[in-house]
Amino acid sequence: MVCKQFLSITNRLQFSLAIFDSTTPFLPQLFVRFSRLKTLDLSHFSGDLQGLLHQIVQSGLDLDLLNLSNQRTLPLDGLRELGSKMINLKVFICSNIGSLHDSHLVVIAYCFPHLQELDISFPLNSQTSDFGMFRLSSLLENLQKINLSGNYLITDKSLISLCQNCLSLEEISFFTCFKVTQSGIAAAIRLRPSLTSVAFNIEKKRLHGPGLTLMAINSDLIDSVRSLKRLTAIDLSNSFISDEFLFSLADGCSIILRKLVLQDCCNCSFAGISYLLSKCRSVRCLDLRKVDFLTDECISKLSMFLHSLTSINLSGCCQLTNSTFFILTQNCPMLNEIKMERTYLGVEGQEEYYPLMDFSVNNHQVKNVYLGDNVLLDDASLIKFASICSNLQLLDLNACECISGECIVEVLNRCSEIRDLNLAYTEVKLFEIEFQVSKLEVLNLSGSRINDEALSVISRRCCGLVLLEIQSCNDVTDKGVREVIQNCIALRELNLKNCSFVCDDFVAWSEFSRPSLRKIITPSGVAVNF
């Protein structure tokens, strides 16, 4: 259907490939066709990994990145064979492995000596120890980034050996490494003061009873954090921290901190967060999920320090109302993404803020808004948000039960750039759209009350859909789905799981009628890839 010269050009521009079980019969042809592949993602593959790695070796590819996540284990012989041909591999991702041992770490280090990034996070059965980590660190002198979260048997020795031996190390993550102590973290940081990103949690210690005992932050840890002069990102999710710790962080890296994550942290106060942000005005990504003492007044004060902010996550901050949304959109000119799930949106908030707000001012920067699970969010509030953020490209309203179909139509009319809309588990039933929604590509209606009539409107007004999710829509039948397939000429993925009035036999007709389709999840839950 396309000229060979065009394909010869585009084939050379394909650098990444995700391999599924259904892909394997075609791999010999694909490896020949895409001879410049640099990235392979095997995280969705559940077949014979040893055989697949052998195929990859035989292809002659020279990979930069290999993702083997979600496998039952890593075949040592397969890794050795791969390493004999691909010694230039730079990024190796193997998170969520069923069973991970020291032998895996040693083979990885021997076979891929030029690794710059390694992810061995959260194995289901971690048998890695300080011995394996020492051997790995002594062989990977070019390592720049490592994630060893969830390897719960390692101790301070592992952390120290990594920071001592990996001279290029810049980023390290070690969440839920329970045997790593505050003193060990402090000692490791002092060995590698050039770290630019650290991610860890300071555990709360449980007593024999139902309560928690909160241990003071080690003064050595506070002093070591102050020494990280090149720190640009820190993630302390689910940690016990103190204002003193935040003060030290502010004094040490006030100039260049770009990312700050304090999700679900306890023992700190607004004073500590405010002081840190007042010193670190270059923060672009801020995550304060479940920091439950935050109020609209707090956000108003913090926003004065957030002129460089591009992304904020305030999900689970249950005191925040509509006022916070308006404050952020007016005071943070660079803001691109807002996440306010499970908050108090839908409530107008403190009236004293509204005289200072100009609702006629449009924030063209905000593109992505996540408002899921806000059970009080109503039509009037959402339309106000859409009026301010008219350049929205993604809107997530998952489980917002008070939003109507009429409101969604009004939002689509005001925000013509929307490409991704999530209305899963809402009460939305009908759409009366009198205009084309030409840019909408992803629509999630799973668990909603839509029927064939609504699908008919969607098929005619949203012809550019690429992905449609209607899982568990019990009022949808073959008739409505047929119209979508006939009219949405770019459709590639369709989820029909638990649509009890749609027949599984519908799949064969769908593939024939819409050649663009690449994946259908049938009503019985079977994923069919074309």
The 3-class SS string of 81-142 reads HHHHHCCCCCEEECCCCCEEEHHHHHHHHHHCCCCCEEECCCCCEEECCHHHHHHHHHHCCC
For 260, the 3-state DSSP assignment is strand
What integer pLDDT is reported at residue 362 of this predicted model? Answer: 83
Q: Look up tokens 């009319």; give the residue.
A: 413
Contact 479, 506 (CB under 8 A): no
Neighbours of 375 (CB within 10 A): 12
What integer pLDDT is reported at residue 505 of this predicted model? Answer: 75
Query: Could you tell me the sign of the dihedral formed by the alpha carbons of 109, 112, 115, 117, in that order?
Result: negative
Between residues 505 and 19, the one the model is more confident about: 19
| pLDDT(466) > 80 | yes
Where residue 357 falls among pLDDT bands split at 50, 70, 90? low
Between residues 3 and 387, the one the model is more confident about: 387
The 10s digit of each residue's pLDDT in 13-40 is: 889 999 999 889 999 999 999 999 999 9
The 10s digit of each residue's pLDDT in 74-85 is: 999 999 999 999
What integer pLDDT is reported at residue 227 of this predicted model? Answer: 87
Mean pLDDT of 202-228: 71
Task: Name the least confident of 58-67, 202-211, 496-505.
Answer: 202-211
The 10s digit of each residue's pLDDT in 263-274 is: 999 999 999 999
The 10s digit of each residue's pLDDT in 299-353 is: 999 999 999 999 999 999 999 999 999 999 999 999 999 999 999 999 987 655 5
| pLDDT(86) > 60 | yes
Contacts with 348 (C-beta within 8 Å, 6 or more apart), sequence order: 321, 322, 323, 354
Name residue 103's beta-bridge partners: none
Where residue 212 falls among pLDDT bands split at 50, 70, 90? low
What integer pLDDT is reported at residue 513 of this predicted model? Answer: 78
Task: Name the least confident of 223-232, 303-312, 459-468.
Answer: 223-232
Strands 527-529 and 519-521, bridge-based pairing: antiparallel
Mean pLDDT of 514-524: 89
Percent of the chain with pLDDT over 90: 80
What integer pLDDT is reported at residue 64 of this predicted model? Answer: 96
Task: Name the least confident of 287-301, 356-370, 495-509.
Answer: 356-370
For 380, the 3-state DSSP assignment is helix
The C-alpha atoms of residue 156 and residue 239 are separated, in whole angstroms, by 18
| pLDDT(359) > 70 | no
Name residue 125's beta-bridge partners: 99
Contact 78, 105 (CB under 8 A): no
The 10s digit of each residue's pLDDT in 401-455 is: 999 999 999 999 999 999 999 999 999 987 889 999 999 999 999 999 999 999 9
| pLDDT(358) > 70 | no
Nearest 5°: the CA angle 482, 484, 486 is: 70
The 10s digit of each residue's pLDDT in 140-195 is: 999 999 999 999 999 999 999 999 999 999 999 999 999 999 999 999 999 999 99
For 254, the 3-state DSSP assignment is coil
What integer pLDDT is reported at residue 108 of this predicted model? Answer: 97
Q: What is the pTM of this model?
A: 0.92
Contact 498, 470 (CB under 8 A): no
What integer pLDDT is reported at residue 253 of this predicted model? Answer: 65
| pLDDT(374) > 60 | yes
Q: To the nearest whole number, what is the mean pLDDT of the chain?
A: 92
Among residues 472, 273, 338, 499, the alpha carbon closest in space to that of 482 is found at 499
